Structure formats: structure tokens, C-alpha cells
């Protein structure tokens, strides 16, 4: 054992496997673009805040804070004028402007991969532990 421990080092990077579900993004609906056969739901979070869907076609569950029984099919997109600023296809309640959504599984690589792309601010980051809230990263401007 001692000979091996001096020869080899083990490095791991557990990332999303361990902490993806430890973070989420709270976002709001800023526009609804009616289309056929589906509508686009534009939110105030985009690829500058969460690049994974644009970069890797990564899926992040999105759910509404509204408690309605009816569901509607939407393509959820960000506000940045890029064809890749798309979160994906979701069934959500019939949404209205300024209603809130939660983007889940953002605990790994959300803030660390965020940017000021297209003149956008880096997001505010809040740590929630039990019943305490603490700002750990202020919004950052260019």
C-alpha cells in the first residue's frame, strides 16, 4: 500500500452528480410569443446565466410556481438574440406575464459558467440554509 500511495494520486471532480440538485434559478416570464403549432415562453434568464442548454443541449427541469391544473406545451427560450438561447420543450400551466418559474438542477456550473455576454449582468446568488438566506454573489455588471 505505501509503495502505491507514493506513486499514484487520485483526483475526482464529482460536479453535477453530487450538487446539481442543490441549486435552482428563479426566473419570470417576460414575453409570450404566440405561434403555430406552439408558443414560445420568453423568460428573463438566458444563456448568459445558464449556458449548459445552449452549449451541451443539457436538459434542466422547469416548473411553474402557479398551481393550475391545465397544461400547455411551450418552447422556453431566453431573451438573448441567439438561436441557441433555448431551454427546451416543456408542458407548463397556461402562463401569464411576470409569473415565476424555477429552473432546477443548477447547483453545478450555473454561476461558475455564467457570463456578461451581450451586456447582461451576472446573476445574484443566494445561499439558503435551513431558514437563513445570505447573498454570496452580488449581481455583477461589466
Q: What is the pLDDT along the chain (142 residues), one digit of tens a residue?
A: 566 666 777 787 777 888 888 899 999 999 999 988 899 999 999 999 999 999 999 999 999 999 888 899 999 999 999 999 999 999 999 999 999 999 999 988 888 899 999 999 888 889 899 999 999 888 877 6
**How much is the pLDDT for 63?**
96
**How much is the pLDDT for 1?**
52
Active site residue 81: yes
Contacts of residue 126, defined as CB under 8 A and 6 or more positions apart, other chains included, come to: 133, 134, 135, 136
Do the bridges between strand 86-92 and strand 72-77 make them parallel or antiparallel, or are there none, so unpaired? antiparallel
Backbone angles phi, psi at 114, to 5 degrees: -70, 160
Helix runs in the chain, H state only: 2-7, 16-19, 52-56
Catalytic position from the list 81, 129, 133, 136: 81
**How much is the pLDDT for 22?**
87
Rounded CA gap, 72 and 90, in Å? 8
How is the chain split into domains, by residue range?
22-137
**How much is the pLDDT for 8?**
75
**How much is the pLDDT for 142?**
66
pTM, rounded to two decimals: 0.85
Q: Match domain 22-137 to its CATH number in 3.30.43.10, 1.10.1060.10, 3.40.47.10, 2.40.37.10.
A: 2.40.37.10
Amino acid at each position: 500500500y505505501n509503495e502505491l500511495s507514493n506513486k499514484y494520486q487520485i483526483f475526482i471532480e464529482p460536479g453535477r452528480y453530487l450538487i446539481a440538485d442543490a441549486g435552482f434559478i428563479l426566473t419570470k416570464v417576460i414575453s409570450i410569443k404566440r405561434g403555430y403549432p406552439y408558443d414560445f415562453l420568453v423568460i428573463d434568464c438566458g444563456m448568459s446565466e445558464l449556458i449548459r442548454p445552449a452549449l451541451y443541449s443539457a436538459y434542466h427541469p422547469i416548473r411553474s410556481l402557479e398551481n393550475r391544473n391545465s397544461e400547455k406545451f411551450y418552447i422556453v427560450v431566453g431573451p438573448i438574440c441567439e438561436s441557441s438561447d433555448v431551454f427546451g420543450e416543456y408542458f407548463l400551466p397556461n402562463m401569464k406575464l411576470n409569473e415565476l418559474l424555477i429552473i432546477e438542477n443548477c447547483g453545478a456550473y450555473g454561476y461558475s459558467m455564467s457570463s456578461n455576454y451581450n451586456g447582461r449582468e451576472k446573476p445574484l446568488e443566494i445561499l439558503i440554509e435551513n431558514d437563513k438566506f445570505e447573498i454570496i454573489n452580488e449581481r455583477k455588471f461589466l
